[in-house]
Structure 1
Amino acid sequence: MATAHSVPARQAFTFENKVYQPHIGTVQCYNLKKEQWIPLVVLGSDEKLLFSFDDLRGGSRIYWYTIEHCRSDWQSSGLSTTDYMERLPEDRITDYKYSFGTLQKYTSYALAFPNEQVRPKIPGNYLLKVYEQGDQRKPVVSQRFYVLAPSVNISADVVASPQVALRQTNQKLNFTVFHSSPIQNPYADLKVLVMQNGNPLATKLNTRPQFIRQGSLVYTEMTSNDFPGLNEYRKFDIRSLRYKAENVQQIVRDTGVRVRLFADLKTAGDKYSNRIDEDGRFYIRNQDGRDDRTESDYVNVSFTLNAVAPTGDGEAYVIGRFNNYRLDDESRLTYDASSKQFSGTMKLKQGLYDYRYVWADKSTHMTDQAVFEGSFYETGNTYQVFVYYRRPGSRWEELIGFTETDTRER
């Protein structure tokens, strides 16, 4: 059994949004122009990403960061840092602030980039890597982000699924990529990734347009880019710990703060109910103090789902952008067969949160986001379209197009 003074085992970074240390909380990364939006900047622009996290041990630590260029499938491009970075290959995070007036002591670290020290020079997918004491064998956080050099335009439209059996539950994205420069072989050189609500559990890869026309590639094949519409996200509000806001049943203060949410019901099989949500996002907010970053406390939030286990061999999880939609030990729920109830607790910073329940079947290795929530073609969702291009003779894929469309704009 490890002691408080034991040396942690060496780890390696993986190419995903991941927290590697149990004392790290509330990772955020978004374009400064739109809070909690897709972490994407246009190459050569003045746009910046804000990246931040909290260290729940308090005090100050020496954290370094670097970036790595990735392929469209989020594996390393295998390039030298001089191929994709200007200026320095790594730098220290120097912006940190201590929590104030909170029961949970923590230190908040933040970074705005690209900056004068670390700056990407080619477009594509990137992984931001944060590590301790300048040693990449001591990973702390990894975060995906995108650098866009727009050279194509994208027109996208969401409709109800044309497949009769899925018409009431699914949404289909049709899109066209317009290009002014010739793309010699779109089947080999072009890939288009479609994502629902920025959720890596809901992505589809397109490698073959249905029609190739002069100056445009059309992706309208009947069964492709067909997504379960799912349901509007559930939500709760813990901006204040002085009163019980939306979906909060109980607030208990002792050595820390515990919040119990009202028990959730399975909504699959119900009729569509229009709820206003944030498509899975979360916002750190604090109505009890002045500074959201340093005066927001950490709360042990208890979730309860009243539902029967869908299969005999699987696990239920609670997910959202707040935990990078990860199915891990922290997000896993415990099932009590006698009460037909799932439950679990997570430590979260004060704010507004969207969440939903998913089922991971161990025998099929499939994740089902609809079994507890239901799926409706009317649900409001945002869809992101990323266009990647490998130029003839190039060693890497570039991100040359991006658009986002909202079903509520129909």
Structure 2
Amino acid sequence: MCSIQFGFSQNEFKDAEHIKTIILKPAAINSYAPIVRLGEKLMLTFDDLNADEHTYSYKIEHCELDWSSSNLVESEFIDGFAEDRIRDYENSFNTLQPYTNYRLAIPNETTKLKISGNYEIAVLNEEEEVVFKRLFVVYEPKVTVGVAVYKSRDIFYIDTKQSVEFTINTPNMLINNPSEEIIPVILQNNNWQNTITGLKPQFYRGNQLLYKYNKETSFWGGNEFLYFDSKSIRNTSLNIANVELGEELYHTYLFTDEEKRNQPYTLYPDVNGNFVIRTLTGENNNTDADYSWVYFSLKCSNNLDGKAIYVSGNFNNWQLNDANKLEYNETLGLYETKLLLKQGFYNYQYVTKSIDGTISNHDIDGSFYQTENDYTVLVYFKKFGSRYTKVIGVGFGNSEKINN
């Protein structure tokens, strides 16, 4: 068993500064993770703050388990073209920040995916330069997956960690060597930075593969995500202390957050790191929502031993770079940063990153077994002699009803 940072190369790739609000999600309502059944539709939207109706194209690549290229020929995984122009775009309406909103559906008339697996989509400008990349997963339902979440059985972590147990049901598949050909991958809140993989089935029961690990499948529970709602850009609202109109844009100041690692756990609803674009002053959220500078501040007494602090969430693809790094203001005694964000409801958290690259979601806000988290188990299948890795099933679990 090992915990690896899948998609690390993508997180190292920095989005172009003029490209904002990149959303890649299923067309289904209330779905956030870019994981779809083969044939189902994914939607990609993004804004170009240059607002010049620039011509962008997309390029899709099939990937291996570790997100390296699978080296398949395009015709092996695409019916049509793997690269084409993005033709659906519209300029913003009545916003202080002008932008062009682009939309793309996959599959579409020119691009249809033929096989399951990991995929990368890159968006390129007219000079064939990549302005951003995103990852997505396509699965075919060959197996079913049952997922359950438990408290850690390790007495040292019993109050801070959650463990995932799961069963893979394979009634209609002949798998010659499950311990080598079946590769499960576990995600917490659809964040690829702390993925667990390398698990072998512990038990076999008929057509079932049982993974009853505890220590090896443990995640820090973390804490509930912080949140704010800027749907009314001129007024204070949920967790927003003050709003000011600057020379060009609105400035949204959030209440100062305090570390919660030594406070008791408090339940409040969140969307597990996701965000929803919305505005009260228009009909089309894609083009009528405006941008504002959102100011984050954190009061933290914890000695972080040189660790860097970032504000993170699905809104920035969980990336940790200079754009969302907090700097210490000695005058105020606060860590601070500001981000240009589109109106909407946002979840966020403060994470630390050490010099060796270790990322922690509990240095600031603590970790509690009661925290409500989403868990996803993806089942990869690499048949002996096969030229690529399939995804043959997916299972979902939630820690809201955690087992003892």
Asked if the contact 1:36–1:282 (Cα under 8 Å) also holds between the matched residues in 2, the reply is no
The Cα shift of 1:348 comes to 0.3
Correspondence list, 1:254-293, <5 A: 254=246, 255-293=248-286
Runs of 4+ residues over 4 Å off in structure 1: 13-19
Is it true that 1:169 corresponds to 2:169 in the alignment? no
Is it true that 1:111 corresponds to 2:104 in the alignment? yes
The Cα shift of 1:14 comes to 4.8
Give me the CA root mean square deviation. 1.6
Is it true that 1:152 corresponds to 2:147 in the alignment? no
Task: Give 1:142's match in structure 2, choosing from 127, 133, 142.
Answer: 133
Match of 1:225 in 2: 217
> What's the TM-score once normalised by structure 1's chain length?
0.92
Is it true that 1:321 corresponds to 2:336 in the alignment? no
Correspondence list, 1:47-62, <5 A: 47-62=40-55
Structure 2 unpaired stretches of 5+: 1-7
Question: What amino acid sits opposite 2:33 in the alignment?
Answer: I
The Cα shift of 1:182 comes to 2.3
Structure 1 unpaired stretches of 5+: 1-12
Match of 2:5 in 1: none
What is the percentage of aligned positions where both structures have the same residue? 34
The Cα shift of 1:403 comes to 1.3
Match of 2:205 in 1: 213
Match of 1:120 in 2: 113
Structure 1 residues 36 and 214, CA, compared in 2 at 3 Å: closer, same or farther?
closer
The Cα shift of 1:312 comes to 3.0
The Cα shift of 1:259 comes to 0.6
Match of 1:252 in 2: 244
Asked if the contact 1:99–1:295 (Cα under 8 Å) also holds between the matched residues in 2, the reply is yes
Structure 1 residues 81 and 310, CA, compared in 2 at 3 Å: closer, same or farther?
farther
Correspondence list, 1:183-194, <5 A: 183-194=175-186
Match of 1:83 in 2: 76
Question: How many residue pairs were aligned?
Answer: 393
Q: Give per-residue Cα distances to partners, 1:166-204, cap 9 Å, x unaligned.
A: 111111110011112221112221111100001122311
Question: What amino acid sits opposite 1:223 in the alignment?
Answer: K
> What's the TM-score once normalised by structure 2's chain length?
0.94
The Cα shift of 1:206 comes to 3.2
Asked if the contact 2:242–2:253 (Cα under 8 Å) also holds between the matched residues in 1, the reply is yes
CA distance in 1, matches of 2:194, 2:357: 15
Match of 1:40 in 2: 35
CA distance in 1, matches of 2:308, 2:241: 25
Match of 2:350 in 1: 357
Higher relative contact order (CA 8 A, sep 6+): 2
Asked if the contact 1:274–1:379 (Cα under 8 Å) also holds between the matched residues in 2, the reply is yes
> SS at the partner of 1:294?
helix
Asked if the contact 1:18–1:143 (Cα under 8 Å) also holds between the matched residues in 2, the reply is no
The Cα shift of 1:340 comes to 3.5
Question: What amino acid sits opposite 2:35 in the alignment?
Answer: L
Match of 1:30 in 2: 25
CA distance in 1, matches of 2:185, 2:70: 17
